Amino acid sequence: MSMLSKPVHISLGAYGRVPHLVAIADALADPPSDPLLGQLDTTRMQLCPQNTGALDLDWCQQLRALYPDIEWRLHANVRTRKEHGFIDLADWPEHRSYFRELAKLSDALAAPAYSAHAGKRSEASVSEVINYSRQLTDLFGIPVAIEGHYPMPDNRWLFSTWQEYQHLLESDAYYALDLSHLNIIASRTRMIETELVMEMLACERCIEVHVSHNDGQRDQHLPLVHLPWWLPVLQHNATQAVIFSEGRITSSILETVPS
């Protein structure tokens, strides 16, 4: 039984480097479970860059027609036919064509939101990324959420400190809160900002919550095999945000897919 009162949905990136349609078919045939979260909900799915195969307009239209009862969302630098790479919100000025293409695909899927990583300090500032998210929200016609990062030795990522997450909360930007990223910040700083996390989860601009397990040192996308410090906070502060599990999924069908 899940430890949350809200359903937890499937982020298809948890299946790793397999085609989107293979991951979707497996999820629907045998909905996976997380040790602490219980069976994952298949009424919402997130298309992710980890999955192989590039998306185009026809593919998205066919996917929606094939599975009309599933709510689809694009996440981060999902692959498209025209362009792909590590393209984050900080890269918007240099990769406008990529985001314009994503906006068309998102519309074809009737997606209610899009979330992407903030990106590198070398490309933009915190304030610029917040402004870019506003511009992209206008372009997409739906909320475009900033997903923050976690500390690295070279300090490459934007939104990788508690102070920057506070800045995000105090802004007017939509955001996706990856609690596994916050676990790395807590581990590196030896400080858990519980009140800040509570406020961020309760805020109406928090439109997605991403969950998985890691060792506090790196992003591992593991199932929740141990009770994380943030789960009680999530239990009591779950809002309208959609929760996606990114914990790695194993399945017998995946063993038949060429790597």
Range name among 91-100, 146-155, 247-256 with the lowest pLDDT average: 247-256
If you ran DSSP here, which 8-state letter would residue 205 be given? T
Strands (E), the chain: 8-11, 33-34, 38-39, 41-47, 71-75, 114-117, 144-147, 175-178, 206-211, 242-245
What pLDDT is recorded for position 257? Answer: 57
**Is residue 207 within 8 Å of residue 177, measured between CB atoms?**
no
Task: Inform me whether the pLDDT recorded for 251 exceeds 90.
Answer: no
Return the axis-axis angle of helices 126-140 and 162-170, rounded to nearest 10°: 40
Residue of higher predicted confidence among 102 and 257: 102
Kind plus residue range of the DSSP H or E element containing 140: helix 126-140
In the chain, what are the domains? Answer: 8-256 (3.20.20.150)
pLDDT digits (tens, 9 = 90+) for 147-206: 999 999 999 999 999 999 999 999 999 999 999 999 999 999 999 999 999 999 999 999
Return the axis-axis angle of helices 126-140 and 96-108, rounded to nearest 10°: 40
Q: Which of 206, 188, 190 is nearest to 198 (CA)?
A: 206
